[in-house]
Structure 1
Amino acid sequence: MHSGTKSCHDQFNTQKLARAKKRGRDSTPAPEDRCRRPRKCFDKTSCIFCTKEDGLLHEFKTLGADDNVRSMARDLLDSDLLTRIEGVGDLIALEAKYHLACLVGLRNRHRSLIRNRENLPGCQ
């Protein structure tokens, strides 16, 4: 590189920054600008299932919990739950919390779905 002169890349970045400032914001898009669809944020102070903060909340502690919850949500086509946990990482590491009754409810709905599939004619 030549000393004292700007490279083509530096000039491009300077122009990009100037245009962004002219529009009234910095050159890095805000996190909400990056998402194409509205998404409920992950909140570790509320239940991952019902999103309420009331009652006694438990933390996920077993290694298979994350996979089990995601698998049940996919089988049930629970788009609300999938939207909340999609791409946020492991629920244990994120210290996700839940109401015991909500987890039991998810498991019961999943068990019911599996039983209904097994009882359909031609599925055995």
Structure 2
Amino acid sequence: METEAVIRRAEGTGDGSAGGSYVLVLPDDQFHLLRRAAVVFAAQEQSPAARALVLGSWDVSLDEPLQLTLPYDDVVPGPVTLTFAQLHALHAVLTTLPTSSVWTEEEFVGRVGDFRETLLRLASSLRWGITVRTGEAGG
């Protein structure tokens, strides 16, 4: 699975600071993996306080951008528009789920749909994408 995420600033949403919105452009299989990871995380993490700790806020939700309330057959993958808080929450899900679950690798793949390493590479790709987007790439 290709794991390079492209992040761009949503039109008319500011100067690149933490405010405004970002558009995450990724292949359909990655969209569905993100969606599945968010669903599994929500089912696994029943405590609202623990969920807020991981996601960075009591109020952040990935329901709308990842179409979590829709049945799978009704989901239309494509670019995902996220606030910076939602982008952070998505990154947190991708890094927390592989490292906090006690499932065997087979169980993890069965629940999430891919390997732990794939989620971690996708999280790394988000970090790289936001670094490029904000012009803070070092080197």
State the TM bucket, normalised to the shorter chain: under 0.3
Question: TM-score by structure 1 length?
Answer: 0.28
Larger radius of gyration: 1
Question: TM-score by structure 2 length?
Answer: 0.26
Structure with larger RCO (C-alpha < 8 A, sep 6+): 2
Q: Which structure shows the bigger proportion of residues in strand conformation?
A: 2
